[in-house]
């Protein structure tokens, strides 16, 4: 296979996954789609998210992507099965939840694990159900943190505003007594250091980006044989131009990025 990998999210959050994949598979071409016209996905209906995800997947197929990564917890929770059926045998589809569930099951045999995420992800109870299925001795405490993704999209992290909001959420009784905290949104690795500072060394902070990237490398790494002398192309598409997205993409992948706006809903 010499086709690019397609990665999509509602905005900049999935860039954390794209960057982690690039580190694991540095010679793999990447096509990224940020559905900035509809962000955040966390407060959208399941039907809307499924529609967005299927259209974006069709777009990535047209760009010759044979690996598609749903780099969004909310879309992974409510649209993964729909996308797989929509794609059929045309591409391999990955989500960002199952690798994290496997990681938790392997590394935490019992006790309480916390999850923070968007309303859509938490209301789906996807982590609660999946972790209970593989290890019923692990108790999962979930907390919706709806202000975090918009806050990050607007560039508010590593400052007084972000610290105040993060402290307010993490102080909730729902998360007391947790041994580990799953960052159940691909935006949240951008505030990982602030979360770690809140907890100190007493709680393991589980960043999905690196876990997902390692899982994908393990599954597809042997399918690719790119020249290590050739710089892989990386293309970034958005459904609506935002300055925050362009800045974030440049931070993650350098200033020479190719950003293009496309409307999939005409």
Q: Which residues are marked as active site? A: 72, 185
Which DSSP state fits 259? E
How far is the C-alpha of 253 from the C-alpha of 183, rounded, in Å? 22
CB atoms within 10 A of CB 197: 12
Count Cα atoms within 13 angstroms, Cβ side, for 174.
15
What is the number of helices (H) and of strands (E) in the chain?
A: 11, 10
Contact 125, 77 (CB under 8 A): no
Torsion of CA 157, 165, 77, 72, to 10 degrees: -10
Residues whose CB falls within 8 Å of the CB of residue 106, separated by 6 or more in sequence, listed in order: none
First to last CA, the chain: 32
């Amino acid at each position: 296979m010499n086709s690019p990998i397609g990665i999509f999210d509602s905005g900049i959050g999935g860039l954390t996954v794209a960057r982690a994949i690039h580190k694991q598979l540095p010679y793999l071409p990447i096509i990224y789609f940020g559905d900035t016209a509809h962000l955040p996905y966390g407060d959208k209906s399941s039907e809307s998210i499924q529609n967005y995800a299927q259209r974006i997947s069709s777009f990535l197929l047209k760009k010759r992507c044979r690996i598609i990564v749903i780099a969004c917890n909310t879309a992974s929770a409510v649209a993964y099965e729909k996308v797989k059926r929509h794609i059929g045998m045309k591409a391999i589809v990955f989500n960002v939840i199952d690798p994290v569930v496997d990681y938790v099951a392997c590394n935490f045999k019992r006790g309480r694990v916390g999850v923070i995420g968007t309303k859509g992800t938490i209301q789906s109870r996807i982590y609660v159900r999946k972790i209970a299925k593989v290890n019923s001795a692990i108790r999962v405490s979930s907390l919706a943190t709806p202000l975090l993704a918009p806050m990050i999209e607007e560039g508010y992290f590593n400052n007084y505003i972000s610290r105040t909001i993060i402290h307010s959420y993490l102080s909730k009784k729902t998360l007391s007594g947790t041994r580990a905290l799953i960052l159940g949104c691909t935006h949240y690795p951008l505030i990982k250091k602030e979360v770690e500072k809140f907890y100190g060394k007493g709680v393991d902070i589980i960043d999905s980006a690196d876990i997902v990237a390692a899982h994908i490398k393990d599954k597809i790494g042997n399918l690719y044989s790119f020249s290590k002398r050739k710089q892989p192309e990386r293309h970034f598409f958005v459904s609506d131009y935002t300055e925050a997205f362009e800045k974030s993409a440049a931070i993650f992948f350098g200033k020479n990025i190719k950003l293009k706006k496309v409307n999939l809903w005409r």
